[in-house]
A and B are shown apart, each in its own frame.
Chain A
């Protein structure tokens, strides 16, 4: 092989190797930290103590509830709107997409402060109010996911074709529309769950005991547990994303900045 080729191949392999190490080392090192006892053996003690920590467990369930609510609200809000958009006023799509990107410009911490100082006490007194906040936070990504699913099919043509073949509205929606946009809907669902699982700024500002906030506090007293749970969090998100890519053959760089 020509020397130049060898250099470039080595460089490329080297970079990939460094890249793999980049991801592997922290996971490995933190796993050792979390699961290794002082005598050198491994135990799952951090996990079991986590499960015994009632506050932690409670916060996890709360977060899951909020996640469920956020997903529900997102789908209820977006699916009809996007369907309507594609079918009736496709020209407005660019504007609506621009609108849904605005939450990205206002950092979650700033949104949280604004929320605190503008919402009525009734909303601020229940952690489930986070459902509204998180729906807004997830909007840029959930909108994109569902919108691109609708864009990949020609809603109007499909609808007209089905209607001319005698299908009524509900049949068209259930048998034709939904199956074709299912991938996008699943993407939106998973992205939203991942976001809620990791969202910290809003929850800590509003002083709610969601999983991330409790985890952060727990970390100060019991590092191993916190680290163990963090690793599990990462694995959880990894599973979610893998499920996502199994549905999505062509992912558009799914990016959530909820750090």
Chain B
């Protein structure tokens, strides 16, 4: 009779089967086909070369950079936040982080066009000070420009994730280290960082996956001019020019799923391992 009990989960499973399972199946299926419907591995060959390989590399580069920078900066912010004695500041920054982490990429992109775009408020202000940030080759839509915008949803995400992690650090560890004669640096090196390392690594992977999968920000900002993987996928679907376009897009999608999948599993495993220690 045990099996029958699981029938109660049928609605959820059926729903997910249809609206997640079917799309996923389509992705897998079409990635192995060409536009005529024949089986082929060509799509995978295509995505691992030329412009698509470049797109993977660019996405990876952007994601590594945004993940690394937001890991460090976000952690530093969160650390000062957790230790602050003014609860109002903590609440303000937490909510602000929540906003930036949870709003779609479109408002974020426009906000930055308004700040650092060619006629942005900050650009103009700096110009009045004599600094022309557009004087050289830099634009908001270059790699570093996009990186800055990405940081604006990555860092808040990092802050949000870090707060519970930091609050789990027992004050007794620090007190014990102090009474045993250790200074702050030693404590960080020998106790705190080793404890936090697995979690931080996992969070890095999460940030990487989050950045890699992001589409709206890049789309709104560059209208498809920066060749990131999600943007490539969208343009392949949108255009009718590319032969086997849809199939290539599917293959790209598969690539993304595998990449994001591996990093998410990595995050989950590291989380599990570090929680064992903490109890």
Contact residues of A with B, CB < 8 Å? 4, 8, 11-13, 15-16, 18-20, 22-23, 25-27, 29-30, 32-34, 77-78, 80-81, 84-85, 88-89, 92, 96, 99-100, 102-111, 113-119, 132-133, 135-136, 139, 191, 194-195, 197-201, 204-205, 212, 215-216, 219-220, 223, 226-227, 229-231, 233-234, 237-238, 241-242, 245, 252-259
Are B216 and A107 touching (Cβ within 8 A)? no
With a CB–CB cut-off of 8 A, which chain B residues contact A15? 76-77, 79-80
CB distance from B219 to the nearest CB of A (A): 7
With a cutoff of 8 Å between Cβ atoms, the chain A residues found around residue B13 in the complex are 99
Check if A119 sits within 8 Å of B22, measured CB to CB.
yes
Q: A105-B264, A212-B106, A227-B114 are in contact. List 13 more A-B contacts (CB 8 A).
A: A15-B80, A29-B120, A77-B15, A89-B5, A105-B257, A117-B250, A198-B106, A200-B219, A204-B234, A242-B95, A254-B160, A257-B213, A259-B214
Minimal Cβ-Cβ distance residue in A for B90? A16
| Across-interface contacts of B260 in A (CB, < 8 A) | 105-107
Contact A26 B152 (CB under 8 A): yes
Interface status of B37 (Cβ within 8 A of chain A)? no
Q: Is the CB of A198 within 8 A of B210?
A: no
Contact at B93–A259, with CB atoms within 8 Å?
Answer: no
Chain A binding surface SS class = helix
A256–B101 CB distance below 8 A: yes
User: With a CB–CB cut-off of 8 A, which chain B residues contact A254?
Assistant: 98, 102, 160
**With a CB–CB cut-off of 8 A, which chain A residues contact B9?**
81, 84-85, 89, 92, 96
In whole angstroms, how far apart are the Cα atoms of A4 and B183 in the complex? 11
> Once bound together, how far apart are the Cα atoms of A161 and B77, in whole Å?
47
Nearest CB of chain A from residue B118's CB, rounded to whole Å:
10
Residues of A with C-beta under 8 A to B94: 245
In contact, A200 and B220 (Cβ under 8 angstroms): yes
Are B157 and A25 in contact, with the CB atoms below 8 A?
no
Known contacts: A84-B8, A111-B23. The answer to whether A16 contacts B111 by CB under 8 A is no
* B93 CB contacts on chain A under 8 angstroms: 16, 19-20, 23
Are A227 and B8 within 8 A (Cβ)? Answer: no
Contact B103 A255 (CB under 8 A): no
Chain A residue contacts of B210, Cβ below 8 A: 257, 259
Alpha-carbon separation in the docked complex, A115 to B105 (Å):
21
The docked-state distance in angstroms from the alpha carbon of A12 to that of B76 is 9
Q: A-B pairs with the 6 shortest C-beta distances?
A: A198-B104, A114-B23, A107-B213, A200-B216, A230-B107, A30-B114
For chain B, the count of residues having a C-beta within 8 Å of the partner chain is 89
Please judge, given known A-B contacts A33-B121, A233-B103, whether A255 and B157 are in contact too, CB under 8 Å.
yes
| Cβ of B176 to closest chain A Cβ, rounded Å | 19
Which of the listed residues A99, A113, A229 has the most CB atoms from chain B within 10 Å of its own CB?
Answer: A113
Would A118 and B25 count as touching, CB distance under 8 A?
yes
Stretch of B41-49, B50-58, B81-89, B130-138 contacting A (4+ beta carbons < 8 Å): B81-89
Report whether B161 and A16 are in contact in the complex, using a CB–CB cutoff of 8 Å: no
With most chain A CB atoms within 10 A of its CB, the pick from B83, B95, B217, B220 is B220
Residues of the B chain whose Cβ atoms lie less than 8 Å from the Cβ of A78: 12
> A230 to nearest B CB, angstroms?
4
CB distance from B124 to the nearest CB of A (A): 9
Closest residue of chain A to B22 (Cβ to Cβ) is: A118
Cβ of A227 and Cβ of B110 under 8 Å apart?
yes
Contact B11 A30 (CB under 8 A): no
Instruction: Compute how far the CA of A46 lies from the CA of B125 in the bound complex, rounded to whole angstroms.
Output: 21
Cα separation A108 to B230 with both chains bound (whole Å): 9
A195 to B, closest residue via Cβ? B102
Distance (whole angstroms) from the CB of A243 to the closest CB of chain B: 11
Q: Select the residue from A11, A27, A33, A258 with max chain B CB neighbours within 10 A.
A: A33
Please name all residues of chain B whose beta carbon is closer than 8 Å to the beta carbon of A108 when the two chains form the complex: 213, 215
What per-residue 1/0 map shows which CB atoms of B57-75 lie under 8 Å from chain A?
0000000000000000000
Chain B residues near A200 (CB-CB < 8 A): 104-106, 215-216, 219-220
Across-interface contacts of B264 in A (CB, < 8 A): 104-105
